Every structure is written in structure tokens, then in C-alpha cells.
Amino acid sequence: MSSLHDTDFYSWTQQQAALLRAGNIASLDIDNIIEEIEDMGRSEKRSLRSCLRVLLMHLLKWQYEPQRRSKSWHVTIVTQRSNITEILEDSPGLKSLIQIVIATAYPKARKEAAAETGLQLA
């Protein structure tokens, strides 16, 4: 049997919020609440990794193709730096993971920059 969580996520969230406000802990869908909270954390980490990947890719292109530097690249660099700052301000707990996230984002950024520029990976 499908639960409200599976069939109407929005209504499920509203129901769970109402139960919390009422202090009706026994009626909460604890397993799905736990899953959703964990998913929210993973989503924040994915957003940070995505912004870092785009930033690193553009910084690599900026460094290795100075003749092709453009306003668009500059705007992307500024925008991604701003996005990263906002993510870290909203979720300061991610600061402790920044080196790990960079380590996973950099190889992808490097491959994407090479593909876009036609430069060979060393």
C-alpha cells in the first residue's frame, strides 16, 4: 500500500508539519522524515559540489586559454563564487567538507574544461 509520502509529497509535508506543531509525535512518519532530512543534507552537498565544479572548470579555462577569456567566463566565475558563499553561509557545516568536495569536483571540472577547450589532459 502506498503512503501519502509516496502519492502526494506536498500534502505529506503539510501533514507532518501540522503533527509536529500539535506535538503529536506518535503519529509522525518518522522513517520518511529521517529519509527526507538526510536527502536535504545530500542535496546541499550536491549543490556545493556542482557550483565548485563549474567554478573550477571556468578557472581552468581562464588559466589555460587566456586568449579566449570573455565577459561570460568572468560572470560565471563571479556568480559561482557568490553561490558557493551563499551555500556555506546557509549551511556552515559544509565548510568542514570543502576539501573533500573540491577533491571530487576537480577531476570532473578538469575533464569538462579539456573537452570544451580541446586541450589534452596532462
Q: What percent of the chain has a predicted confidence (pLDDT) above 90? A: 95
Structural domains in the chain (count): 1
- pLDDT by residue (tens digit) across 19-34? 999 999 999 999 999 9
Predicted confidence band at 2 (pLDDT cuts at 50, 70, 90)? low
- Residue 84 in domain: yes
Distance of alpha carbon 38 from alpha carbon 23, whole angstroms: 22
Rounded Cα distance between 57 and 34, Å, is: 35
Task: Give a yes or no: residue 122 inside a domain.
Answer: no
Please give, one letter per residue, the 3-state secondary structure of the chain. Answer: CCCHHHHCHHHHHHHHHHHHHHCCHHHCCHHHHHHHHHHHHHHHHHHHHHHHHHHHHHHHHHHHCHHHCCHHHHHHHHHHHHHHHHHHHHCHHHHHHHHHHHHHHHHHHHHHHHHHHCCCCC
Q: What is the rounded distance in angstroms from the CA atom of residue 16 to the CA atom of residue 28? A: 6
| pTM for the model | 0.83
Q: Which three cell numbers stand for residue 69?
A: 577569456
| Average pLDDT of the residues in 6-19 | 96
| Domain interval for residue 17 | 4-117
| Whether pLDDT at 1 is above 70 | no
Taking CA atoms, 61 is separated from 17, 33, 44, 118, in Å, by 46, 42, 26, 11
Cell numbers that stand for 104 in this block: 571530487
